[in-house]
Amino acid sequence: MENAKGWWIAIAVIVVVIIVAMVAGNGEGNPLASVSPSVSGSESVSPSASPVASATAKPLTYGEALKKYASTRIQLDTICQATPNYMVVKTGTTIMLDNRSAEARVVALDTAKYNLLKYGFRLVTLRPTKLPYTFTIDCGASQNVGRILVER
């Protein structure tokens, strides 16, 4: 009898943890997303299909993402200018869209739009169906602030 009570308590604790994780999500429907405004889920984008969000077991912190994606990071400053404004990557590469503004921004790679929180970032995996392919980057009202050429 005592063993069954322990199991019920363990199940109740697990249910509470799941509910807390879902409530603490970042508002994008991802119960595993961090509450930190600087961490976002990763997505895959192609020019002919809608992006599909994928949850990771443990989201990266901003510092971890800076180290991991240092060579594939596009930083968007306070006036929506991209640095670098041109990048060449291989298909399947994950890039970091990094909003360094105190304002939330909508950043688009062609028609795929991403909401970046203030001082937040988004990881996007580039898999166009036709290669080579050039994505154009729009930031807020600023058009063509950057380009990404994706090759084999």
pLDDT, tens digit, for every residue of 21-39?
A: 444 443 333 322 222 233 3
CB 75 within 8 A of CB 82: yes
Strands 112-116 and 105-109: antiparallel
Question: Which pLDDT belongs to residue 104?
Answer: 96
Question: Which pLDDT belongs to residue 39?
Answer: 39
Domain boundaries, the chain: 1-31, 36-151
Question: Which pLDDT belongs to residue 25?
Answer: 42
| Helix locations, 82-150, DSSP H | none
Q: What fold, for 36-151?
A: Immunoglobulin-like (2.60.40)
Query: Long-range pairs for 58-67 at CB < 8 Å and ≥24 separation?
Result: 59/32, 59/33, 59/34, 60/123, 61/36, 62/36, 62/38, 62/119, 62/121, 65/39, 65/96, 65/121, 65/123, 66/96
- Ranges of residues in the chain with a pLDDT under 50 are 20-40, 48-55
Question: Which pLDDT belongs to residue 6?
Answer: 65
Question: Which pLDDT belongs to residue 64?
Answer: 95
